[in-house]
Structure 1
Amino acid sequence: MESQSEIREFFKNQTIFITGGTGFIGKVLIEKLLRICYDLSVIYVLVRPKRNKSPNERMKEMFDYPCFDKLKTVYPDYYKKIHLISGDCNQVGLGLSSEDRNVLKKEVTVVIHAAANVKFDLDLRIAATSNLRAVRDILDLSKQMSQLKAFLYISTVFSNCNRSEINEEFYKPAMKANNLFKLLESIDEGVLTTVTPYITQKWPNTYTFTKCIAEDIIRKEANNLPVAIVRPGIIISTYEEPVAGWVDNYYGLIGIVVGILMGGIRNLFAKKDGVVYCIPCDFVANVILAATCDLAKKSGSNQLTLSSAKNEVGNVKIYNYVGSSKRRMTARLLKNSFDKYKWKYPLNNMFWFPFVNYVESELWFEIRLFFQHTLVAYIADLVLICLNKKPIAVRKAIQVNKLLKLFSYFGKKTLTISCNNVDNLWNGMKEVDRKLFNFNMDDFHWEHYWKNALKYGRVYLVKDPLETLPWARKKIMLFAILHYSLIVVFCCWLFMFIYRML
């Protein structure tokens, strides 16, 4: 079977350099490469010190995650294929030593740039350093790699969310990278905070804004490098590989889902039948690896050079990956899945009955946030103060409300996204590669996905073992009784109030 797989055959003896390897998508990529393409030569992983931990300590901790358990069983000596490169995308030149830089120049054949700061409310200066300068630095380094066959940049389909229609092509950013850097050098933090909304213009946050500019850097500076861009939708927990429902962070939709299940998020600004462009992490990893192989194959045969196709500039092909139009994930389907499986797999540390309402009116959304989030938080803090405990509810509610308002941009916007290159990539793959690197979602079962996501997400992310389910199920029943009892009491009071007024 190995000889029949074009993708496995391509990665055989390849030397791969990955940035963002300690991140969510990075871990899944590394695990898939080592488990399925073990005949590769070596994977160099860029790791920076963080939270008083050295790169070596972080690397060792990374392989303690459950996502690597299957790999360790199949290939116990996997660590021989992994080499640490100490560096930092926030530093000039990626913070590489001259020795490591020389090694990468001589040996690397494939670069996958997955590193990015994905926080929505990030300071523009930090976002520009992480998401822009690092792209330019790794491009400069790649131009000096004598054996480079493929450079994959992982962007986001929301990099151009200021548009209603997003095709697999480059779009003009609101600002050029050089102009942004000059601006950031000339103003202080206070002024920057004030002018950021004017700088980002129609982009909802600094993350999507800088990702759009990053693509423009690639468009202008990739030259004749074999480059491709993968734009995935919202990356969520794994579907089945290496294990079902694995996730390691609270970013984006994952954090909102946990907030709902904890009982802290009760309202979302969204259209009930609106499409939610979310993609399981293992499917994203598969499309990245398939695109890398396809890029190297075509660049080697000079099929990409100076293409005049609309969806290519020079040798840069773009892949919008948001699943299948036949199996769209909608807000209604998401809510129905929650309502069904929250009873079966509730969180043991929930603090109220989990429920969520979709609101399509901005005014009504603000009103509901005040009464069901902010006001409830003040009451909770009052109770904590009476119990001689530290009040934390209001601070948490402010953070949650800020996150929900940031996401409300996507809840009210309708996007049309074309994925022709992804479809063509799939259609051109052999059957064996389709099985090994599946990313086709025409027959994807979303309800089954969310069942596993809620079941195993509580284990991997919330650290809530399945053994606590019996108590958690009793707890959710108790909260449900309290929740609906309060609603009945409030309705009776309202009825009596109106009756007396009349």
Structure 2
Amino acid sequence: MTSIDKIVTIPEFYRGKNVFVTGGSGFIGKVLIEKLLRSCPDIGNIYILLRTKKNVSPKTRILTLTNTILFDSVKVLHPENIDKLKYVEGDIRSINLGISQDDLEMLRSKIDIIIHVAATITFTADLTDAALINIRGTRDICLLAMSMERIPILMHVSTCYCHHDNHCIEEKMYAPYGDWRKIIEIAETMDRHTLNVITCKMKGIKHSTYTFTKALAEQTVQDLCVGTIPTIILRPAIVTGIYEDHIPGYCEGYSGQIGYLIGILSGIMKCANVPAGSNRETVPVDLISKGIINSIWMKGTGQSDEEVSIYNGTGCNLIEFNLHEVNKAFFNVFKKTRTELNWYPKCTIFDSYIFYYMYFSIFQLIPSIIGDCFIYLKKKKPHLVQLQRTLFGFTNLLDYFVKNSWVIRNANFLNSIVDAPIHNDDFIVKTPNINVNIEEKLLLDHVHYILVHYLNKKLTDKPTNLIKLWILWVVWCMLELSVLVFGVYLVYSIFN
């Protein structure tokens, strides 16, 4: 390993280096790119793989990407760095990434670091799409890396849950679940109907095509790159919004706990089915971006000399965002929320299917049916029941991961973001103050961001009126009690 006193700083390491990123338009990709442009001001160019989407060209998409609140700090601190963001037209689902020969030659001659984030994360994707994107796309990234004029560092972003069949998920490679070459061949040649049958059989091994193909993608990296080029695999857990970087609470999309919070704050979600002992592994997105940047630096400076360095990206033992603890923290958070609330955003958690289904039907489905009737009378398109159907399907889809728990080891990951000899505080995550309630801090930051940027609310100078909050809480409790009493009376009347 390199002597500590000879290690260059992270900004110095990235100085002049050109980076190729797939999945740069996604949540993790955007936060990562912004961090590189802001905290490594002398970095070379960052090339993003982009495709034409909904008739919007890659050039327009990259302008849209940078014209967001996330990149405002870069524009203030290092405005010239925005021009370092380039696009390479292509598609991760196409053979050879859909990149033209000229662009391939340009990448081979210029790139020093490849960060492969792109994937389909759809749990219900059929095997064809999941295999072509997650496995073949990874294969083509590996082949591109191996053809570079300069030996690049390859960072492959995976997921902790691709090894969910192990109760304890360690920072190591696991035995292959199948032949990734054969799966690619099947996806390229077999008709989709037959593949759907195979998908049902495959679920006996893995819970979904997502976890199955991501596991095989790791094996692809192992077989093609390990021992040939410096290789890193980082496995994020459930990714939440920013914890402490320049926009605390910043989030995108509707997945995971972000979706739960949006549902609760908007009033369309009143309950969840989560076992009492459930403890989901989560990680703020800025920890993942720092983990990617720092682990590449560690690999490039000789601090990590394994053939393949593996990091399980979770907040365990540092920052945790537990759904049950979050639910307990709601009232204290709403006392500090700087906006006017017209209802109490309460979510009741059940560990019983029967009570969850009953509560869901009474407090979510029936009000949505009534609401759609009023919407229809106004000659507008009803949408509330469809929204509840989507929400119900989404929660059922995640049922396996909600009902099961894993021990995920993350010593390597914590070392990369907390204990590594980093010369710049901008790249480390400080151990939280024991006097600070992390759930409340994370939740308040997320709530404020969601209220403003998802629900178009305005924040005020003062927190929520405490008396009004108590009244809203009492009104909701009385409504719940009234429904319960009516239900008991109805059952009593039927059987008497």
- Tell whether 2:281 aligns with 1:277: yes
Whether the aligned pair in 1 keeps the contact of 2:108 and 2:149 (CA below 8 Å) is: yes
- Tell whether 2:257 aligns with 1:257: no
Whether the aligned pair in 1 keeps the contact of 2:156 and 2:233 (CA below 8 Å) is: yes
Whether the aligned pair in 2 keeps the contact of 1:348 and 1:468 (CA below 8 Å) is: no
- In structure 1, what residue type is equivalent to 2:266? M
- What CA distance in whole angstroms lies between the structure 1 residues aligned with 2:231 and 2:61? 29
SS in structure 2 at match of 1:153: strand
Aligned twin of 1:183: 186
- In structure 1, what residue type is equivalent to 2:235? R
- In structure 2, what residue type is equivalent to 1:180? I
1:202 Cα deviation from its structure 2 partner: 4.5
Identify unmatched segments of 5+ residues in structure 2. 1-5
Aligned twin of 1:422: 413
1:272 Cα deviation from its structure 2 partner: 3.4
1:386 Cα deviation from its structure 2 partner: 4.6
- Cα displacement string for residues 47-95 of structure 1 (whole angstroms, at most 9, x for unaligned residues): 1111211000000111111011111011121233222211111111111
- What CA distance in whole angstroms lies between the structure 1 residues aligned with 2:129 and 2:339? 35
Which has the higher mean CA deviation after the structures are superposed, 38-47 or 491-500? Answer: 491-500
Aligned twin of 1:49: 52
Whether the aligned pair in 1 keeps the contact of 2:372 and 2:383 (CA below 8 Å) is: yes
Whether the aligned pair in 2 keeps the contact of 1:261 and 1:347 (CA below 8 Å) is: no
Distance 1:242 1:48, change over 3 A: farther
SS in structure 2 at match of 1:235: strand
RMSD: 3.1
- In structure 1, what residue type is equivalent to 2:68? Y
- In structure 1, what residue type is equivalent to 2:185? K
SS in structure 1 at match of 2:155: strand
- What CA distance in whole angstroms lies between the structure 2 residues aligned with 1:326 and 1:45? 31
Q: Which of 419, 427, 434 matches 1:437?
A: 427
Aligned twin of 1:312: none
- What CA distance in whole angstroms lies between the structure 2 residues aligned with 1:389 and 1:488? 33
Which has the higher mean CA deviation after the structures are superposed, 463-472 or 161-170? Answer: 463-472
- In structure 2, what residue type is equivalent to 1:432? H
- Cα displacement string for residues 317-351 of structure 1 (whole angstroms, at most 9, x for unaligned residues): 1101212325543222111233332455488898x
Q: Which of 420, 438, 445 matches 1:452?
A: 445
Aligned twin of 1:124: 127
The aligned runs of 1:248-327 (5 Å cut-off) are 248-298=252-302, 304=305, 315-325=307-317, 327=319
SS in structure 1 at match of 2:399: helix
- What CA distance in whole angstroms lies between the structure 1 residues aligned with 2:330 and 2:279? 16
SS in structure 2 at match of 1:204: coil
Whether the aligned pair in 2 keeps the contact of 1:270 and 1:412 (CA below 8 Å) is: yes
- What CA distance in whole angstroms lies between the structure 2 residues aligned with 1:36 and 1:356? 39
SS in structure 2 at match of 1:148: coil
- What CA distance in whole angstroms lies between the structure 1 residues aligned with 2:175 and 2:367? 44
Q: Which of 142, 146, 149 matches 1:146?
A: 149
- In structure 2, what residue type is equivalent to 1:221? L
Distance 1:320 1:90, change over 3 A: same
The aligned runs of 1:223-242 (5 Å cut-off) are 223=226, 224-242=228-246
- Tell whether 2:30 aligns with 1:39: no
- Tell whether 2:86 aligns with 1:83: yes
SS in structure 2 at match of 1:38: coil
1:493 Cα deviation from its structure 2 partner: 3.2
- What CA distance in whole angstroms lies between the structure 2 residues aligned with 1:361 and 1:495? 19
- What CA distance in whole angstroms lies between the structure 2 residues aligned with 1:342 and 1:325? 27
SS in structure 2 at match of 1:147: coil
Whether the aligned pair in 2 keeps the contact of 1:19 and 1:114 (CA below 8 Å) is: yes
Aligned twin of 1:243: 247
Distance 1:62 1:328, change over 3 A: closer
- What CA distance in whole angstroms lies between the structure 1 residues aligned with 2:397 and 2:173? 25
Distance 1:84 1:173, change over 3 A: same
Whether the aligned pair in 1 keeps the contact of 2:132 and 2:187 (CA below 8 Å) is: no
Runs of 4 or more consecutive aligned structure 1 residues displaced over 4 Å after TM superposition? 346-350, 440-444, 467-482, 494-502
Distance 1:17 1:470, change over 3 A: same
Whether the aligned pair in 1 keeps the contact of 2:337 and 2:464 (CA below 8 Å) is: no
Whether the aligned pair in 1 keeps the contact of 2:155 and 2:234 (CA below 8 Å) is: yes
Aligned twin of 2:331: 339
Distance 1:424 1:499, change over 3 A: closer
- What CA distance in whole angstroms lies between the structure 1 residues aligned with 2:373 and 2:338? 27
1:424 Cα deviation from its structure 2 partner: 3.8
**So what's the TM-score if we normalise by structure 1?**
0.87
Whether the aligned pair in 1 keeps the contact of 2:261 and 2:447 (CA below 8 Å) is: no
Aligned twin of 2:346: 355
Aligned twin of 1:329: 321
Which has the higher mean CA deviation after the structures are superposed, 333-342 or 154-163? Answer: 333-342
1:258 Cα deviation from its structure 2 partner: 0.5
Identify unmatched segments of 5+ residues in structure 1. 308-314
The aligned runs of 1:341-420 (5 Å cut-off) are 341-342=333-334, 344-345=336-337, 353-420=344-411
- In structure 2, what residue type is equivalent to 1:457? I
Distance 1:74 1:271, change over 3 A: same
Aligned twin of 1:219: 222
- What CA distance in whole angstroms lies between the structure 2 residues aligned with 1:115 and 1:472? 44
Distance 1:271 1:432, change over 3 A: farther
- What CA distance in whole angstroms lies between the structure 1 residues aligned with 2:476 and 2:195? 44
- In structure 2, what residue type is equivalent to 1:393? L
**So what's the TM-score if we normalise by structure 2?**
0.88
- Cα displacement string for residues 435-470 of structure 1 (whole angstroms, at most 9, x for unaligned residues): 121235565833212111111232234443326999
1:191 Cα deviation from its structure 2 partner: 4.3
Distance 1:499 1:234, change over 3 A: closer
Distance 1:465 1:181, change over 3 A: same
